[in-house]
């Protein structure tokens, strides 16, 4: 778990890019990194190289169809 938390810290520091999200996948014991269709070019390269730098088997990256959109605004309650 410490390795995965360290990996998410690295992603936060080096690859916080609009159109990306990551979460811990307990089934595979990996960080699942997802990028929407807006992540292209240099931003995709940055994301891909950051995931690769985490080491083999720590994280995997996938493309999502469509574009991530926020449905909440700051201060909105979550029910």
State the pLDDT at residue 77.
Answer: 64
Which of the following CATH numbers is that of domain 2-63: 3.30.70.100, 3.10.300.10, 3.30.300.50, 3.40.50.170? 3.30.300.50
State the pLDDT at residue 68.
Answer: 87
State the pLDDT at residue 37.
Answer: 95
CA distances from 27 to 24, 31, 35 (A): 9, 10, 20
State the pLDDT at residue 71.
Answer: 72
pLDDT tens, residue order, the chain (79 aa): 788 888 999 999 999 999 999 999 889 999 999 999 999 999 999 999 999 999 999 999 999 999 988 776 666 666 6
State the pLDDT at residue 49.
Answer: 96
């Amino acid at each position: 778990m410490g390795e995965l938390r360290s990996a998410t810290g690295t992603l936060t520091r080096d690859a916080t890019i609009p159109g990306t999200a990551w979460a811990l996948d307990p089934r595979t014991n990996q960080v699942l990194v997802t990028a929407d269709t807006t992540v292209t070019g240099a931003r995709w390269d940055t994301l891909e190289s950051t995931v690769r730098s985490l080491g083999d088997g720590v994280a995997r990256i996938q493309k999502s169809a469509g574009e991530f959109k926020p449905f909440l605004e700051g201060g909105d309650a979550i029910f």
